[in-house]
């Protein structure tokens, strides 16, 4: 049974008002009484009714994150790292994190409305942004606090943290071409996702610099899962002239592609090169270890959360928008320079 202010008041023979004001360090309560109240409260195991306090100040001290139900979601180490970064920063700043899931579309917007109108959250972290994102448009119209991990295709007059996916994929293109690969396939996510479009554009541009055109017949669409990477890699390998390098737009699809290659008796890094994107913890422990683009997902989660809470508190959160430069982590999945001819 929870200890109440009334329980403490009865124990020390003071009024509930005095106990409450003592716990909140009001000057009209003597230091001796304040010390007594706090001592007894601690002995009795009292914890303040934070819900009542939050209702009184019309704030929940909670941030919301609605995860889309497409793709791997909670099984994706990318999201595990992101949620850890957001959650740990929120806790350090005295906030809770409410995580919900919803399919894209009207039901997704309804999830935002319910959390917002019910005052269950003070702001949102928006993830996996889309070229035309109804969530962001809605939150802007309602003037409700949010910070996005990612940008949109058109208007970007909102606070966000993002990584430069185009730059990351240009690094991949440079690396593959430097090793002699020219016949390249790609496994990309739904192009409606903003990061998917950026990464695909970066690959195209990076290859064009070297006089290579990415053949659109060798671009397959997956759903960010390992199983889709496996299926789409098989589609690429079944072509009459299969690619000798497969660029996956996330690590999980790259893992699936590696399995597909190996199941055919081929050697990853010798017969077919594979690259990923994200550098999730498992990437360095695959066989062979995966060459991939590193983005600091945990740190990005922390930065997005810190910006959001500063926004909720009306404080300066530093730069309104941040675009981070990823780096290429070269491992063994692309092998060594191939012999021409």
Report pLDDT digits (tens) over 95-128. 999 998 887 777 889 999 999 888 889 999 999 9
Architecture of domain 165-295: 3-Layer(aba) Sandwich (3.40)
Between 156 and 73, the more confident residue is 156
Instruction: Please report which confidence band the pLDDT of residue 54 belongs to, taking 50, 70 and 90 as the band edges.
Output: very low
Residue 67 near residue 101, CB atoms below 8 Å: yes
**Distance between the two ends of the chain, CA-based, in angstroms?**
79
pLDDT of residue 220 exceeding 90: yes
In the chain, ranges of CATH 3.40.50.2300 domains? 62-163+297-324, 165-295
What CATH code is assigned to 62-163+297-324?
Answer: 3.40.50.2300
Q: Angle at the Cα of 53 (from 46 to 67), degrees rounded to 5?
A: 105
Q: Are 278 and 64 a contacting pair, CB within 8 Å?
A: no
Look at strands 123-126 and 273-278 and give their pairing.
unpaired
Q: Residues 208-224: what's their mean pLDDT? A: 96
pLDDT above 80: residue 28: no
What is the pLDDT confidence band of residue 4, given thresholds at 50, 70 and 90? Answer: confident
At residue 132, φ and ψ (nearest 5 deg) are -120, 105
- Looking at CATH, the fold of the domain delimited by 5-48 is given as 434 Repressor (Amino-terminal Domain) (1.10.260)
What residue ranges of the chain are covered by domains with CATH 1.10.260.40? 5-48
Q: Which of 333, 243, 330 is nearest to 294 (CA)?
A: 330
**282 with 77: CB under 8 angstroms?**
yes
According to DSSP, the β-strands at 219-221 and 184-188 are parallel
């Amino acid at each position: 049974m929870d200890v109440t202010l009334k329980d403490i008041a009865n124990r020390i023979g003071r009024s509930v008002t005095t106990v409450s004001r003592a716990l909140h360090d009001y000057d009209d309560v003597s230091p001796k009484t304040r010390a007594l109240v706090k001592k007894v409260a601690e002995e009795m195991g009292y914890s303040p009714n934070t819900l009542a306090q939050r209702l009184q100040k019309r704030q929940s001290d909670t941030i919301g994150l609605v995860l889309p139900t497409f793709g791997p979601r909670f099984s994706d180490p990318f999201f595990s790292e992101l949620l850890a970064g957001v959650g740990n920063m929120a806790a350090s700043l005295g906030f809770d994190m409410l995580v919900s899931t919803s399919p894209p579309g009207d039901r997704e917007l309804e999830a935002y409305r319910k959390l917002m109108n019910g005052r269950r959250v003070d702001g949102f972290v928006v993830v996996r942004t889309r070229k035309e994102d109804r969530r962001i448009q809605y939150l802007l119209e309602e003037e409700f606090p949010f910070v996005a991990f990612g940008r949109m295709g058109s208007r970007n007059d909102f606070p966000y943290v993002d990584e430069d996916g185009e730059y990351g994929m240009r690094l991949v293109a440079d690396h593959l071409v430097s090793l002699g690969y020219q016949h390249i396939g790609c496994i990309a996510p739904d192009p409606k996702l903003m990061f998917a479009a950026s990464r695909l554009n970066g690959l195209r541009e990076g290859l064009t610099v070297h006089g290579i055109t990415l053949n659109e017949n060798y671009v397959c669409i997956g759903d960010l899962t390992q199983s889709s990477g496996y299926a789409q890699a098989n589609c690429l390998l079944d072509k009459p002239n299969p690619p000798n390098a497969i660029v996956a737009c996330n690590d999980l699809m790259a893992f699936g592609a590696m399995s597909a290659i190996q199941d055919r008796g081929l050697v990853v890094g010798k017969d077919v090169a594979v690259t990923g994107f994200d550098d999730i913890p498992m990437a360095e422990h695959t066989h062979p270890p995966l060459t991939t683009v590193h983005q600091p997902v945990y740190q990005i989660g922390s930065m997005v959360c810190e910006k959001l809470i500063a926004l909720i508190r009306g404080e300066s959160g530093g730069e309104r928008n941040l675009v981070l430069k990823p780096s290429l982590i070269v491992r063994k999945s692309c092998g060594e320079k191939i012999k021409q001819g």
